[in-house]
A and B are shown apart, each in its own frame.
Chain A
Amino acid sequence: MASTAAAARTELAVKKKSKNRSPLYQGWKRFKRHRLAVIGLVWVSLFFIAGVIGPWVAPYDYRVGDFLAINQGPSLKHIFGTDNVGHDMFSQILYSVRSALIIALGATLVSFVIGIVLGLWAGLRGGIADVIIMRAVDFMMTLPGFLFALILVILLGRGYWSLILAIGIPGWAGYARLVRSLVLGMRNGEMVEAATALGASQAHIARRYMLPNVVGSMGVALAFGIPGDLVQIAGLSIFGMGLQPPIPSFGNMIAQASDNILGFPWLLYFPAGIFALTLLSFLFVADGLQEAFSPKGGN
């Protein structure tokens, strides 16, 4: 008698434990198995922290150059060296992390919101709206987003807001297509059909079955989207159309360093190295997320 009760209790405990294993928790467990993805996540987190606390930890102001210490190599006073007007490179990088993150997150959010709205509209409404939106998606997909961004920057200017819009607006097509396919896939999917047959309410279906599935795919799409936007921001600077100096940005630093690379190579090591490492980390995280959350990524 007592043993059956104990068995029942353990069974209950097991059940309780397995109930805690939401799709998110299981995804996290799968994610943790990818060592590179976890290392990437650590670096990405550091990048975010640096972006938030940057202005308080930066030893120097980004606008102020020390004219008595131009083009110096790394030293105790300036651990990453100084550039041709005496800016402390460490501070420049800290501020660049901030500007890069603000624009990349803003732009990704803009593309994401436009994409979700249009994707939902196309997927739920169908009919003529679907046709028109998907045609527009095809149109945006044929030409590289950078080309659209370039033209938009001319119209909008080179400030924070204009760059967010210039990079964000052309980026919606991929998200819209993803959202539409998710909506269509789920609306006609067996899981939703089964839940409806069992008498689940619409809200319950949306919360319990649709949302967890969407969150994974969206997270993967965002994780690939942010580094893509980071590249575009820097690419615009290389083209001479990024953030207006003196606001520091990775693109400007890399472009500037490549001009006097022969004399002062450390001006390149740190910005280019950190930028490359960051992109790589984002991609490792995105890759790990994809394998952890995509329905086919079980292998």
Chain B
Amino acid sequence: MAVARFIAKRLVQIIITLILVISASYIMMYYSPGGFMNSSIMATALAPLQGQNPVLYHQVMDQFESRYGLNLPLWQQILKYLWHEFSFDFGNSMQNPSLHISAQLKQTLPVSALLAFGSVVLSVVIGVPLGIIAALKRNTWIDYVVSTVSLAGQAIPAFVLAVIMVLLFGVVFQGILPVTGWGSWKEMVLPVICLAAGNVGVVARYMRGSLIETLRQDYIRTAKAKGVKYWPLVFKHGVKNSLTAMITVIGPQFAFTVMGTIWVEQIFAIPGLGQVMQSAFTSFDYPLAITSVFLLGSMIMLMNLLVDIVYALIDPRVKL
């Protein structure tokens, strides 16, 4: 029951946050210089008409404005978009009026989600063992190497790593792995590695700290006194208990990765949400831009909620 109440409370918070973010984004785009009516292909095509027949030009422009709902008062436009988003009927894109946004998302969203999840999983699979090794070999050269490498992974952003990968596998080791496009698992390898690199560092550093802290606990000493052998002690008593703390890192890391996906997609030419977002933002495609903000936000916040629930389920000390 407490869990249900907790989830309900958090869902309400998420919805309020989304309403604020969508309204704020729309207001900012609405007041930004340029705007859809001035920057679309249609406006360029109609420009000559302005000189020849101003009356007709304004009539046509008004027609278009009312067609896209841009002549309504601002608050009505915001309400319209909020209604669209929360009913999951995203409407049609402005730059491609024949294209339904849902259809576009059906193709692009799974791609980005797969990249993000894949890299989070990979970073845990690599980062946790690295962290364990560093913690057990604390203050030896192994520890220093692991710590330095994870710091490097954290420092270098995914897009720099991505171009370096393109250089390595596109020029030096040509033909081993494809550096552009999307389709088979082979095309997933490099982007996922780029996205995971930063997270590996975070996970490894956090795991190291968490394990060192756990191994200092009294119950570890008790277990040792009772005659538990080294490896069972480290894994059953130490690692298992430090892993629960690890779950809390995954939430923020997921958010970080989702944003990284957008960059990496640009460089590897992957048809994901990032590409959709870029075209939406650069050409003032309001419905598409708002929808991508909505999706990114809800994805990140729902993931955080999930992390909190899992954490409470695993660790009996945590109360929701």
Contacting chain A: which of B50-58, B86-94, B146-154, B185-193?
A: B146-154
* A261 in contact with B31 (CB, 8 Å): no
* A150 in contact with B281 (CB, 8 Å): yes
* B164 in contact with A280 (CB, 8 Å): no
Is B160 an interface position by the 8 A CB rule? yes
Is A116 an interface position by the 8 A CB rule? no
* B154 in contact with A283 (CB, 8 Å): yes
Is A287 an interface position by the 8 A CB rule? yes
In the assembled complex, the CB of B47 is this many whole angstroms from the nearest CB of chain A, namely 22
Report chain B residues within 8 Å CB of A238: 159, 263, 266-267
Within 8 A of A (CB), among B251-265: 255-256, 258-259, 262-263
Count of interface residues, chain B, beta-carbon cutoff 8 Å:
44
Within 8 A of A (CB), among B1-47: 17, 20-21, 24-25, 28-29, 31-33
> Given A154-B32, A155-B31, A238-B159, are A268 and B167 also a contact pair (CB < 8 Å)?
yes
* B255 in contact with A261 (CB, 8 Å): no
Report chain B residues within 8 Å CB of A143: 17, 21, 255, 296-297, 300-301
Chain A, residue nearest B157 (CB) = A231
* Interface mask (A271-297 → B, CB under 8 Å = 1, otherwise 0): 010011001101110010000000000
In the assembled complex, the CB of B134 is this many whole angstroms from the nearest CB of chain A, namely 14
* Interface mask (B285-310 → A, CB under 8 Å = 1, otherwise 0): 00000000100110011001000000
Report chain B residues within 8 Å CB of A282: 155
Is A47 an interface position by the 8 A CB rule? no
* B157 in contact with A261 (CB, 8 Å): no
Report chain A residues within 8 Å CB of B136: none
Chain A, residue nearest B162 (CB) = A258
Report chain B residues within 8 Å CB of A144: 255-256, 258-259, 300
> Given A272-B163, A275-B160, are A142 and B304 also a contact pair (CB < 8 Å)?
yes
Is B156 an interface position by the 8 A CB rule? yes
* A272 in contact with B28 (CB, 8 Å): no
Report chain A residues within 8 Å CB of B278: 239-240
Q: How far is the CA of A150 from the CA of B29 in the complex (A)?
A: 11
* B28 in contact with A152 (CB, 8 Å): yes
Report chain A residues within 8 Å CB of B162: 258
Instruction: Say whether chain A's binding surface is mostly helix, strand, loop, or mixed.
Output: helix
Is B171 an interface position by the 8 A CB rule? yes
Q: How far is the CA of A157 from the CA of B268 in the complex (A)?
A: 27
Is A56 an interface position by the 8 A CB rule? no
> Given A144-B300, A147-B296, are A268 and B163 also a contact pair (CB < 8 Å)?
yes
Report chain A residues within 8 Å CB of B267: 238, 258
Q: How far is the CA of A238 from the CA of B263 in the complex (A)?
A: 7
* A240 in contact with B296 (CB, 8 Å): no
Chain A, residue nearest B262 (CB) = A239
> Given A258-B267, A276-B156, are A157 and B33 also a contact pair (CB < 8 Å)?
yes
* B29 in contact with A239 (CB, 8 Å): no
In the assembled complex, the CB of A288 is this many whole angstroms from the nearest CB of chain B, namely 11
> Given A154-B281, A240-B278, A272-B164, are A280 and B259 also a contact pair (CB < 8 Å)?
no
In the assembled complex, the CB of A240 is this many whole angstroms from the nearest CB of chain B, namely 6
* A147 in contact with B259 (CB, 8 Å): yes
* A139 in contact with B17 (CB, 8 Å): yes
Is A97 an interface position by the 8 A CB rule? no
Report chain A residues within 8 Å CB of B164: 268, 272, 276
Q: How far is the CA of A283 from the CA of B202 in the complex (A)?
A: 13
Contact of B157 among A139, A147, A234 (CB under 8 A): A234
Q: Can you report 10 A-B residue pairs in the complex whose CB atoms are below 8 A from each other?
A: A139-B17, A144-B255, A154-B32, A157-B33, A239-B262, A279-B155, A280-B151, A282-B155, A283-B155, A287-B151
4 cross-chain pairs, A with B, having the tightest CB-CB distances, nearest first: A283-B155, A155-B28, A280-B155, A155-B32
